[in-house]
Chains A and B, each alone.
Chain A
Amino acid sequence: MKKFYYLMRMAFMTKFAYIKAFWFNIFGTAVSILIYYFLWKYVFRTREELNGFTAAQMTTYVIISRVLSSQFSGGIDREFSEWVYKGNIVVELLRPVPLLYNLFGKRIGEFLFFLLFKGIPISILATLILGGTGPAGAGQLLLFGMSVLVSIVILFWIEVTVGLIGFFTLNVWGLTFTKSALLSILSGGVVPLFLFPDEVAQVLNYMPFAGMVSVPASIYLGKYDWNQAVQFIGLQIIWAILLGLGVLAFYRFAIKKVVVQGG
């Protein structure tokens, strides 16, 4: 646990070193919130509600979805693949903790940084300024938090997979780009899943991606009752475990093939 704490702390400090770049990152997210906000505002000009969403609820959905999906383009996959590409993986493999443990500590550190300096302040500010709704209740807020926590584990496995593919392709630029685009769409980060055709929406609701935006946002807005919320979080946990097992197997296979670049 102590080791994990120090790995997290290191990721946190590293992020701090790039605080200037982080302001641009926040600016980018703020702009994307505004764009989506005005889009939906336009839609709601002619109607009171859409599929049970009021304009204020949609504003909150936009804020939560934009903030949560802004994580998709970050993460450890790019750095992980860069380790492989530039050969620094050799140093990381020589650490006295498993590589995945090391990476997870780093990822959680970055996630906490994201929460503290971007996720929470931006969400609160945007909700106040743009007039969104608060959480449906204290219980919903708690479940929302849990759902986001589980989703970060799922996101981590996806990032590891993308990085691992770097073992074979030695370059994952295209892949990370595709990843963040796909995740944004499939998770409900671009438009709510109910706007997809019914059958597609049904499938997507039960995929692990929904857990990253759609599920937590719906819980927050009180779109799921207590039972549904717990079931969806349970499903996310199952996905996190299944994906974890799969990625672990892939990791074991890939690591045997590690080719370390450069002298």
Chain B
Amino acid sequence: MMQIEVNHLVKEYKRKRDPGTLLKALGSMFRPDYEIFRAVDDINLGIEKGEAVGYVGPNGSGKSTTIKMLSGVLTPTAGTIKIDGLEPRKNRMKINKRTGVVFGNRSVLWWDVPVMESYRVLQKLYEIPEKTFRDNLEEFIDLLDMERIIQVPERQLSLGQKMKCNIAAAFLHNPEIVYLDEPTIGLDSESKLKIRRFIQKMNEDRHTTFIVTSHDFQDIESLCQRIILINHGKIVIDDKIGAVRKNFTKKKQITFDLADNPWSKGKEFAIPDVRVLDVGETNLVLEYDVEKTDSMEIMNYVSASSDIQDVSINGQDIESIIREIVKKDNQGEV
């Protein structure tokens, strides 16, 4: 059995339609004009214990909505969710004890009191044994470098410090599953790095299952083995990151270091579908379409007219791959 099983999940929001005129706005105070908006549209998922899944998609594609349904806060319009066989909506307290949730734009801590006081309350609410609590706290403080911030009220912390405290809070009770919705939004690269390392470590040491949504593809690449792409509420891709990269890389870059570069002296590059990105006295950067040509052909061609000193080939980064898939999906091609 999968740890998380989602079948034909749908969420529709009722949205008030913009009334247009003031008169109509007055009318709509009494009889609001609603339209149905389908934010999550027939999603199926299976996630094993210990998996780290990147849940990506453009703004408004339905990521947060999915997370809220998985964690039992929102009621699905249709479809089923099973977490270890339990329906989150109906077993909210049980599920809450076994999961941790981090929302990049919200805090689980109490705003006006020192962070440590909030942790104390969380310890009692989650019934965390004193020893577990102490050990976890010590480890987290060390990993996230929080020594000096836990005695400070949350309202006096910076965004990055707040996020660290919230991420630590989500792990205090040794959750089996953690949902992270944009955990690094708005943070500097130093904080991002610490948070990433922390999540990685939790995944490795404790086999905590993760679902991470993020705009930052470095987050996804460094944290996740698997990527799920959602667009307009529908899953477009669900695969290992490596496989996505392999299957969807359309263009590669090849960089030559040449002893003598005839193309810098006006020679035409004769293979079609190859774009010259940069050309200098001793270097040549090309981009080619993997479906039309391959590196061997280019290498043969280049070496026929020049002496290759060094060569390197780069695939597309995952961000631009995803961007292209989304673009195609929006045009109805995938």
* Chain A interface residues (CB < 8 Å from chain B): 2-3, 5-7, 9-10, 13-14, 17-18, 87-91, 93-98, 256-260, 262-263
| Residues of A with C-beta under 8 A to B108 | 91, 94-95
Q: Mark B112-125, 1 if CB is under 8 A from A, else 0.
A: 11000110110011
Q: Mark B90-109, 1 if CB is under 8 A from A, else 0.
A: 00110011010101011110
| Residues of B with C-beta under 8 A to A95 | 96, 108, 125
- The answer on a CB contact under 8 Å between A6 and B93 is no
Tell me, rounded to whole Å, the shortest Cβ–Cβ distance linking B174 to chain A: 13
Beyond A96-B96, A98-B93, is A260–B110 a contact (Cβ under 8 Å)? no
- The answer on a CB contact under 8 Å between B103 and A18 is no
- The answer on a CB contact under 8 Å between B101 and A94 is yes
- Complex partner residue of A260 from B14, B74, B92, B126, CB under 8 angstroms: B74
- The answer on a CB contact under 8 Å between A260 and B73 is yes
- The answer on a CB contact under 8 Å between B121 and A6 is yes
- The answer on a CB contact under 8 Å between B113 and A13 is yes
**For chain B, which range describes its interface: under 10, 10 to 19, 20 to 34, or 35 or more residues?**
35 or more
Tell me, rounded to whole Å, the shortest Cβ–Cβ distance linking B75 to chain A: 6
Tell me, rounded to whole Å, the shortest Cβ–Cβ distance linking B22 to chain A: 19
- The answer on a CB contact under 8 Å between B73 and A10 is no
**Assuming A13-B113, A17-B113, A257-B75, what are 9 further A-B pairs, CB within 8 angstroms?**
A10-B121, A13-B112, A14-B112, A18-B112, A93-B73, A94-B73, A95-B108, A96-B96, A97-B125
Tell me, rounded to whole Å, the shortest Cβ–Cβ distance linking B61 to chain A: 11
Interface centre among A6, A7, A257 (most CB of B within 10 A): A6
- The answer on a CB contact under 8 Å between B75 and A256 is yes
| Residues of A with C-beta under 8 A to B120 | 6
| Residues of A with C-beta under 8 A to B117 | 10, 13
Tell me, rounded to whole Å, the shortest Cβ–Cβ distance linking B163 to chain A: 14
Tell me, rounded to whole Å, the shortest Cβ–Cβ distance linking A249 to chain B: 17
Interface flag for B153 (CB, 8 Å):
yes
Interchain Cβ contacts under 8 Å between A and B, 25 examples: A3-B125, A5-B124, A6-B120, A6-B121, A10-B117, A13-B112, A14-B110, A14-B111, A89-B73, A90-B103, A90-B106, A91-B106, A94-B72, A94-B73, A94-B101, A96-B93, A96-B96, A96-B97, A96-B126, A96-B173, A97-B93, A257-B75, A259-B13, A259-B14, A263-B64
Interface flag for B71 (CB, 8 Å):
yes
- The answer on a CB contact under 8 Å between A10 and B113 is yes
- In angstroms, Cα B111 to Cα A90, docked, is 16
Interface flag for B240 (CB, 8 Å):
no
Interface flag for B68 (CB, 8 Å):
yes
- In angstroms, Cα B124 to Cα A97, docked, is 10
| Residues of A with C-beta under 8 A to B74 | 258-260
CB nearest neighbor in A for B59: A263
| Residues of B with C-beta under 8 A to A262 | 105
- The answer on a CB contact under 8 Å between B73 and A258 is yes
- The answer on a CB contact under 8 Å between A94 and B96 is yes
CB nearest neighbor in B for A255: B75
Tell me, rounded to whole Å, the shortest Cβ–Cβ distance linking B152 to chain A: 13
Q: List which B130-178 residues lie within 8 A (CB) of chain A.
A: 153, 173
| Residues of A with C-beta under 8 A to B75 | 256-258
| Residues of B with C-beta under 8 A to A14 | 110-113
Tell me, rounded to whole Å, the shortest Cβ–Cβ distance linking B240 to chain A: 27
| Residues of B with C-beta under 8 A to A98 | 93
CB nearest neighbor in B for A18: B112
- Complex partner residue of B103 from A5, A7, A91, A96, CB under 8 angstroms: A91
- The answer on a CB contact under 8 Å between A90 and B110 is no
Q: Mark B43-84, 1 if CB is under 8 A from A, else 0.
A: 000000000000000000000100010011111000000000
- The answer on a CB contact under 8 Å between B73 and A90 is yes
Tell me, rounded to whole Å, the shortest Cβ–Cβ distance linking A21 to chain B: 12
- The answer on a CB contact under 8 Å between A263 and B125 is no
- Complex partner residue of A2 from B73, B101, B124, CB under 8 angstroms: B124
- The answer on a CB contact under 8 Å between B71 and A94 is yes
- The answer on a CB contact under 8 Å between A88 and B121 is no
- Which 5 A-B residue pairings sit nearest by Cβ, starting from the closest? A17-B112, A6-B124, A96-B96, A14-B112, A96-B97
| Residues of B with C-beta under 8 A to A96 | 93, 96-97, 125-127, 173
